[in-house]
Structure 1
Amino acid sequence: MASRTSGKGSQGTAGTAKPRAGRTTDAAKKAVPAKKTVGKKSAPAKKAPAKKAAAKKTAAPKPAPSPTGGVYRLARALWLGLAHTVGAMFRGIGRGAKGLDPAHRKDGLALLLLGLALVVAAGTWSNLRGPVGDLVEMLVTGAFGRLDLLAPLLLGAIAVRLILYPEKPEANGRIVIGLSALVIGVLGQVHIACGSPGRDEGTEAMQDAGGLIGWVASKPLIFMMGEVLAVPLLVLLTVFGLLVVTATPVNAIPQRLRLLGSKLGLVDAERESGIDGTEDEERYDEQWRESLPGRPRRSSPRRRDEPADAYGPDLPEQEALERRKRPRRPSVQPAMGREMDAVDVAAAAAAALDGAVLNGMPPSPLVADLTRDVTADRQRVASPVPTAREPEGTGPKPQDSRRMPQEPAAKGSVPDLTKPAPDDSQPLPPRAEQLQLSGDITYSLPSLDLLERGGPGKTRSAANDAVVASLTNVFMEFKVDAAVTGFTRGPTVTRYEVELGPAVKVERITALTKNIAYAVASPDVRIISPIPGKSAVGIEIPNTDREMVNLGDVLRLADAAEDDHPMLVALGKDVEGGYVMANLAKMPHVLVAGATGSGKSSCINCLITSVMIRATPEDVRMVLVDPKRVELTAYEGIPHLITPIITNPKRAAEALQWVVREMDLRYDDLAAFGYRHIDDFNQAVRNGKVKPPEGSERELQPYPYLLVIVDELADLMMVAPRDVEDAIVRITQLARAAGIHLVLATQRPSVDVVTGLIKANVPSRLAFATSSLADSRVILDQPGAEKLIGKGDGLFLPMGANKPTRMQGAFVTEAEVAAVVQHCKDQMAPVFRDDVVVGSKQKKEIDEDIGDDLDLLCQAAELVVSTQFGSTSMLQRKLRVGFAKAGRLMDLMESRNIVGPSEGSKARDVLVKPDELDGVLAVIRGETHS
C-alpha cells in the first residue's frame, strides 16, 4: 500500500499536485484503523514519516521548462537529417561504383596514394604551414619520428607499383606486410638508439627518436627482456620484412646476392649465368607480362631439343616452393574471411593458368620454364615459313614436340594459342604460285591477301575474373570442396577447369548447373565431366565479349603452309584458342547440321573457299547441289565445277547416281592396275608407271578429287528419298579410296532426313546450334548441340573421336568470296561434263512420255519385276497411290514391254526376268536406248 501510494504521488508531480496529494492522504487515513483492528499498535508510528515525506515531495515546486530544450531538439533533428542525407548520397555513389571497371578502381587507389604522398612530402620536407601542415606534423612526425621524411617515399612507391603492375593484385598484400615489418623493426631500433624516450619525457623527445611506432615496438621488448635482446629481435624483424618485400626465401639469399653482384659487375656474369631460378621481382614481372598474350597449353611438354641445364632451376628454392604448394587446393571455409576474399580467390585462381604466384610467392621454376618456352616459340614462329619445295634441312623445323596430340583426321592447332595473324612480310603458302596444268594452261592460285586479317585473341579479361569469383562463391555456398584452378579462353566461350577435393563426386558439380547459370547470369552453361586428358571438370560459359575468327587467319598458319594437301580446309578456332583445320580426304565424309542462323552456311562457304585457294581444277572438282537456289550461286562459273550448280532436286538425285557410276569406273581402274587408293594410282600415272593396254586409245590421266556438297539434304529426301538414300549410302561406303568425298548439310536433322543408314556411313559430324535435344542426338548421338549459342558456335566430332570439340566456326565475307571467285574465273573457264545429269533432249522425251512420274514408274517396275506379279491393286497398296495413278503406271509398263496386256480381273503377265531389271530401269531413265 505504501509503495502504490508513493507511486501515485510521484505521478502527481507531473500535473496538478495538490488534489492528488489530498486523495492520497485520505486513503492513508482510512488505512490506519484497519491496522488497529489487527492489533498492531506500531503501525501508525511507522506510517507517519511516510505521509510527511509524501506531502513534502508533492509540495515541491515544478521546475520551469528550459528555454534551450526546444533548440536542442531542433539541432538534433537537423543533424540527423543532414547525416541521413549525406549517408544516402554516399550509398548512391557506392552503388554506382559497383559497375566501375576494376582497373579504374586500382588506378583511383594509386592516384589517391600518390596525392597523399605529395601532401605528406609537403608537410615534412618543406615545413608546410596551416591546418594541413600541423595535421601532417602531428600524425606523420608523431608516428615515424626522425624517419618521417621516408613516409612519402613509401606511399609513392606503393602508388607507382599499383600503376605499373595492376595485373598482380595478389602480391600487394605481401608487399604491405613486408613494408610494415620493415618499418616497425627500423623505427624500434632508432628509438632504442636515441635513448628510448617515453611519454613522460614529452612529445618532442619521442618525435626526435622513433616516434610513436618506435616507442610501441621497443617499449614492451625493453620492459620484458631488456635492450640486449630487444635489438636482435628488431633486427630479425627488419630482415624478415626485407625478405618478404623482395620475395626472397631464406635459402635463396646466397643466390640472390650472387645475382646482385653479377648485375653490379662485382661477380663474373658468365659464371653465374646458370642461376636463373632466383630472379628479382622485376624479372618475374617481365615474365608475367610476356606469358599473358601467349599462354602455353597445360599439357604441352618441355621441348626435348633444349637441355635441362638451360633452365637452371635452383633445387633448394624449388623444394621450398613445393613445400608451400603441397596442399593441392586452398581450403574452402577460410576463403570468406575478409570482404574482398572472393575477389582475391578469383584473381589467384585465374592467375594459376598464367603461372601466377601462390600465396604471394613468385612463380616456380617450372612456370619460368614454360614462360621461356613461349618466348622461344614466338621467336621461332617469327622466322619465315619454309616452302614445301625446299629441301629437307633448310629452314626452321616445325615444333612438333610442342604440338598437342591431334585427333584422327581432324585437328591442327598451333602451340602459341593466342598468336596473332602473320604479318605482311610473311611468305605466302608454298602452293600460291603459278602452276602448269595439262594442255599448257598456267593457273595461279588466289592470294591470301584477298582474305582479311584478324587481330590477336584475348587471353583474359575482367569478365573472366568475375566468373571465377562467382563459381568460387557457388562452391562455398553449397559446401562443395572444389576450386577453380584455371581457364582457357576461346573466341566464343571460356572453359573453366575445376578440380575436386577428396571423396567429392562429380555429380555434385553437374547438379549445380542451374545454380551456376544463375550465378554467372547466362543460361548457356555446359559442363564437361571430365575434360578429356585431364583430371578436372570443365565448365564452359559464353564470353560477354565474343571474337570473330577470320578465314584468312586460319589459312595463314604455318601448319596450313607446310601441308600442301588440296583437301585441307579451315574450320575455325577451338575453346583453347587453337586453330582447327581438317583434311576432307581423311574425314572422309562429313555431316553439317544446325538450325537457321547457327552458322551452317558460313561453314560451307569456308569449305569451298579453302578448296579454291589451295587447289587447282586438276586437283579438285566439285559438284554443288543447292536446292535453295540462293546459298551457292556465288560460285557459279568457277573452273572447279564439273557441272553447273544443281538447283532441281530431281536432277540432284541424277547427279548422285552419276557419282556412283564415276566411283565404279575409278574402282575398275584401281582393280585393273593393282592399286588400292587413288593417290597411289595418280602418283603412278605421273611417274609413267601405269600405261594403257596395248591397242587401247585411252590416255591415262590422274583422277582429281571429287567433292560433292549438298547444301540442303531435306529437300532431296522429300523428292526422291529412296534414290537419294541409296546413292548416298553407296557413295559413303565405297568412295573413300576412289577420292570422292561427300559433305551433307541440313537445317532439319530429323530421323526421316538423316536416316540410320546415312548416319552409319558418315563418320564425321559438325553440329551447330539446334532447336531441340532430339536433333542433337541425331547429329552427334549425344546431347550438347542444343546448348550452343549460335552464330558459328559448334561441336566438331571427327572420325575416331569419342567426344566432340567445341569451336567457333571461321567466317568469310561475301566480298572475300567474290574476290576469290573472280580470280579463279580469270584464270580458267569451267569445263563441264555432259553425263552428270540427264541431257536436255532425253529430258524432253521423258517429259512427253512419262512426265513427273519417273520415280514412281521406276519403283513400280522394280516392284513388279522383283515379285513377278503384275497387279494394279498391288501398286495401289505398295506405292500408296490411287487407282488412276496405278492404272497409268501399268499402262506405261505395258508400253515398254515390262508386263503383258490386261486380262480382266487376272494379274498381268510379267515379261521381264529379275536379272534384266537394271537394263529395264536404265531404259526408263533414258540412260540407254531400248
Structure 2
Amino acid sequence: MSLWADIKARYKITKAFRAGSIYKTIGSGENEKKILPKIHSIRTTEHSTEYVFTLPTGLNPDLLKKNYFAFQQVFGERIKLEGEFKKYVLNVYQKGADKVLIYDGNEIKKEIENLKLGVVCGKDRTGNYVAFDLLKQPHILIAGETGSGKSTQLRSILTTMILNNKPEDLQLYLGDCKKSEFHIFRKVEHVQCVLSNGKEIARMLKYIKKELDERSDLSEIFEVSHVDDLPAEHRRPYIVVCIDEFVMLRKDETVMDILTEIVAIGRTLGVFAILSMQRPNAKVLDTTIRANLTVSMGFKLRDKIEARIVNTPDAEKIDVSGRFIMNSDKHYDLQAPYLEMEEAKNLLNPFNVNKQPVKEVHEEKPKQPKLTEKDVFADVNE
C-alpha cells in the first residue's frame, strides 16, 4: 500500500470511530482528550481492505455493536467486523465479489479431497472456498426465496457428493416435494430413490428409521461409538436424506418424528439430513430439529423473522442471487457455486444406470402402475 493510500485508509476508519463515538474520553473542558482505538495494520488485497485495531482499555466493546451503523455509513454495507473484548478486525469488501461463481468440479475436488464426506459451500469475499465435512458438522438446513439460489445450491451439493464418493460408500434418498428439482438424479447409481408423493416419502423415511435402529444395535453389539468403527463385514454406507420443501410434510407427525430422530442421532450412525424450505416456519423448525441442524444456509429471505428462525442474520438484506449467509462454526458471507441443470446432467451422465424397479412414481401416468409399499421397501411395515 502506498503512503497516500495508507493515509486515506486511516482517515476513513478514524472518521468512523469519531462518527460512532467509539473512543474513550479523559479530562473535561479544555483539557478533554479523546483516545481513539489504536490502528495496528491496514492491508489491501484484490478483494478487500483489512483493518486491525484495538480498543482503549476501559472502553465498552458494546459501543461497536451499538454504533455499527457508523462503519456502514463510512464504508458501505459490504463490511464484516470480528473480534471480542479488545482486538478487532474490520474487513471492507470490494463490489467485485458479486460476480457469479461458476461450478468448477476440479477446483471443488481439491477442496474436499481430505474430507470423508465433503461439502463445498461457496467462496467468501476474499475469494477462498469454504468447505466442511458432513461427518463433523452433520445436517444442513437451506432456506431462501424463489430465485435466490437455494435450488442451485442443492444441485451443487448433491452433484459434488456423487462425483467424489463411490456408490458403495454413499447412498442418497431424495424427496422432491415440489416435483421440479431432483429428476436429474433419478438414474444415478448412488441414488436409492427419488420420490415426490408424500406417502412414498413417509415410507422411505420409515425405511431409514429401520436402518437407524439396525445401525444402533450393531454399534451396541460391537461396543463402538461410530459406525465407521464397525468390523469390515458389518460396515454400512453413509446415507444422506435430502428433502426439498420438507415443510409440505409438516402435517405428518410420523415423518416429522423420524426427521427429528435423524438429526438427533444420525451423526454417529452415518445418516445425515439436508432439508430445504422457501419460507422458514418456527412451528416446523421446532427447537429439537433446529438445535441439531448444525449448518444453516440462508439465501435471500423475506424479513428479519425468517432470518432469525434460520439463524442467518442479515439474510433478509441479500440482493444478489447465489449469495447467502452460513451459520456453522461461525457466520460466513458466501457466494454459492452456480451449476446449470444441463451441466449437472453432463457431469452425472457417467454415473447413470438402468434401474429396476423404476424409482419414481408419477400418479398421473396410468401406464406405469403405482408401486406398493411392498414393491419399494418390502421389509418396512406400516
TM-score normalised per structure 2: 0.79
How many angstroms does 1:758 deviate by? 1.2
| CA 842–815 in structure 1, closer or farther in 2 if over 3 Å, else same | closer
Q: Secondary structure at the match of 2:191?
A: coil
- Tell me, in whole angstroms, the C-alpha distance in 1 between the residues paired with 2:42 and 2:291: 38
Residue 927, structure 1, aligned to residue 381, structure 2:
yes
Q: Check the 8 A contact 2:249/2:256 in 1, yes or no.
A: no
- The letter of the residue matching 1:786 is E
Q: Report which of the two structures shows the higher radius of gyration computed on alpha carbons.
A: 1
Residue 543 of structure 1 and its aligned partner are, at CA, apart by 2.2
After superposition, residues 335-346 of structure 1 pair within 5 angstroms as 345-346=7-8
**Contact persistence 2:144–2:301 (CA under 8 A):** yes
Distance 1:817 1:808 in 2: 18
Q: CA deviation at 1:775?
A: 1.5
Shift of 1:727: 0.9
Measured in 2, the distance between the counterparts of 1:605 and 1:820 equals 11
Instruction: Tell whether 2:322 aligns with 1:772.
Output: no
Counterpart CA distance in 2 for 1:540 and 1:724 is 45
Q: Which amino acid aligns with 1:704?
A: P
Q: RMSD of the alignment, in Å?
A: 3.4
Instruction: Indicate the residue corresponding to 1:546 in structure 2.
Output: 98
How many equivalent residue pairs?
354
Change in Cα spacing, 1:556 to 1:526, as seen in structure 2 (3 Å) is same
Find the residue that maps to 2:131 and give its secondary structure.
strand
Give the percent of matched residue pairs that are identical in Structure 1 and Structure 2.
23
Distance in 2 between residues matched to 1:504 and 1:525, nearest whole Å? 26
Matched with 2:316 is: 786
Name the residue aligned to 1:756: 287
- Identify the residue that residue 31 of structure 2 maps to in structure 1: none
Could you tell me whether the CA contact under 8 Å between 1:494 and 1:575 is conserved in 2?
no
Name the counterpart of 1:905: none
Cα distance in 1 for partners of 2:276, 2:202 equals 15
> Is 1:658 matched up with 2:207?
yes
Distance 1:667 1:710 in 2: 23
Alpha-carbon distance in structure 2 between the residues aligned to 1:479 and 1:703: 59
Alignment of 1:667 onto 2:216:
yes
SS at match of 1:735: helix
Match of 2:61 in 1: 506
Instruction: Report the residue type matching 2:338 in the other structure.
Output: F
Is 1:716–2:249 an aligned residue pair?
yes
1:297-353 CA distances to partner (integer Å, 9 max, x unpaired)? Answer: xxxxxxxxxxxxxxxxxxxxxxxxxxxxxxxxxxxxxxxxxxxx7x65125x5xxxx
Change (3 A) 1:579 1:842: closer
Q: 1:513 to 1:768 in 2, by over 3 A?
A: same
CA 1:518/1:755 → structure 2, altered by over 3 Å: closer, same or farther?
Answer: same
Residues 345 and 660 from structure 1, CA distance in 2 versus in 1: closer, same or farther, beyond 3 angstroms?
same
Q: 1:486 aligns with which of 27, 42, 59?
A: 42
CA contact (8 A) 1:474 1:519 kept: yes
> Greater helix percent: which structure?
1
Which amino acid letter does the alignment assign opposite residue 247 of structure 2? A
Deviation per CA, 1:651-710, whole angstroms, max 9, x where unpaired?
2222212211121122233334444322122xx32xxxx5xxxxxxxxx6x421111111
The one of 273, 276, 289 equivalent to 1:742 is 273
Q: Secondary structure at the match of 2:338?
A: coil
- Distance in structure 2 (CA, Å) of the matches to 1:490 and 1:737: 42
C-alpha displacement at 1:477, in angstroms? 5.5
1:648 Cα deviation from its structure 2 partner? 1.5
Q: Does 1:807 align with 2:334?
A: yes
Preserved contact between residue 489 and residue 577 of structure 1 (Cα < 8 Å)? no
**Aligned CA distance change for structure 1 residues 823 and 674 (closer, same or farther; 3 Å):** same
Distance in 2, matches of 1:662 and 1:832, equals 21
1:444-488 Cα offsets, whole Å, 9 max, x none, are: xxxxxxxxxxxxxxxxxxxxxxxxx64444445566524664357
CA–CA distance in 1 between the matches of 2:20 and 2:296?
38
Q: In 1, Cα distance between the equivalents of 2:190 and 2:20?
A: 60
Flag structure 1 segments of 5+ consecutive residues without an equivalent. 1-166, 171-340, 350-468, 691-699, 845-925
Could you say which residue in structure 1 is the equivalent of 2:189? 639
Tell whether 2:180 aligns with 1:630. yes
Q: How does 1:271-670 map to 2 (within 5 A)?
A: 345-346=7-8, 349=10, 470-476=12-18, 480=22, 481-482=36-37, 485-486=41-42, 496-501=51-56, 503-520=58-75, 522=76, 524=77, 528=81, 530-531=82-83, 535-538=87-90, 543=95, 546-552=98-104, 554-557=107-110, 559-561=111-113, 563=114, 565=116, 567-643=117-193, 645-670=194-219
- Aligned equivalents of 1:599, 1:660: Cα separation in 2: 31
Q: Give the unaligned 5+ runs of structure 2.
A: 23-35, 362-368, 375-379
Q: CA deviation at 1:615?
A: 0.8
Aligned-partner Cα distance in 2 for 1:495–1:632: 41
SS in 2 for 1:676: coil
Q: CA deviation at 1:625?
A: 0.9
Is the Cα contact below 8 Å between 1:766 and 1:797 reproduced in 2?
yes
**1:618 Cα deviation after fit:** 0.8
Structure 1 SS opposite 2:298: strand
Q: In the aligned structure 2, how far is the partner of 1:655 from the partner of 1:483?
A: 59
With over 3 angstroms needed to count, the CA separation of the structure-2 counterparts of 1:344 and 1:736, relative to structure 1, is closer
Q: Counterparts of 2:86 and 2:319 in 1: how far apart (Å)?
A: 25
- Cα distance, 1:532 vs structure 2: 6.6
Cα displacement string for residues 226-276 of structure 1 (whole angstroms, at most 9, x for unaligned residues): xxxxxxxxxxxxxxxxxxxxxxxxxxxxxxxxxxxxxxxxxxxxxxxxxxx
User: Which of 239, 252, 264 in structure 2 is aligned with 1:706?
Assistant: 239
Q: Distance in 2 between matches of 1:773 and 1:788?
A: 11
Query: What secondary structure is seen at the aligned counterpart in 2 of 1:737?
Result: helix
Q: Give how far 1:613 is off.
A: 1.1
- State the TM-score, normalized to the length of structure 1: 0.35
Taking a change above 3 Å as real, the CA distance of residues 576 and 544 of structure 1, as seen in their structure-2 partners, is closer
Alpha-carbon shift at residue 544 of structure 1 (Å)? 5.0
Q: Which residue of 2 aligns with 1:678?
A: 227
Alignment partner of 1:536: what SS? strand
Q: CA deviation at 1:595?
A: 2.8
Q: Which amino acid aligns with 1:531?
A: G
Match of 1:820 in 2: 347
Correspondent of 2:327 among 797, 815, 827: 797
Distance across 2 between alignment mates of 1:744 and 1:625: 10
Q: Greater share of strand residues, 1 or 2?
A: 2
TM-aligned CA distance change 1:832 to 1:620, over 3 Å? farther
In structure 1, give the amino acid aligned to 2:214. Answer: L
- Asked if the contact 1:769/1:788 (under 8 Å) is kept, the reply is yes
C-alpha distance in 2, partners of 1:794/1:534?
29
Shift of 1:738: 2.1
**Residue aligning to 1:729:** 260
Q: Residue 641 of structure 1 contacts residue 831 of structure 1 at CA under 8 Å; is this kept in 2? A: no
Letter in 2 for 1:649: G
C-alpha distance in structure 1 between counterparts of 2:137 and 2:20, whole Å = 44
User: Does the CA contact (< 8 Å) of 1:490 and 1:577 recur in 2?
Assistant: no
**Partner AA of 2:242 in structure 1:** I
Contact preservation (8 Å) 2:177, 2:198: yes
Task: Provide the rounded CA distance (Å) in 1 between the counterparts of 2:224 and 2:57.
Answer: 57
> For the residues of structure 2 that align with 1:797 and 1:679, how far apart are their CA atoms?
27
* Alignment CA distance shift 1:504-1:819 (3 Å): same
Q: 1:841 to 1:516 in 2, by over 3 A?
A: closer
* Displacement after TM superposition at 1:502 (Å): 5.1
Opposite residue 181 of structure 2, the aligned amino acid is E
- AA aligned opposite 1:543: K
Tell me, what secondary structure is at the counterpart of 1:723? helix
Query: CA contact under 8 A between 1:708 and 1:742: conserved in structure 2?
Result: yes
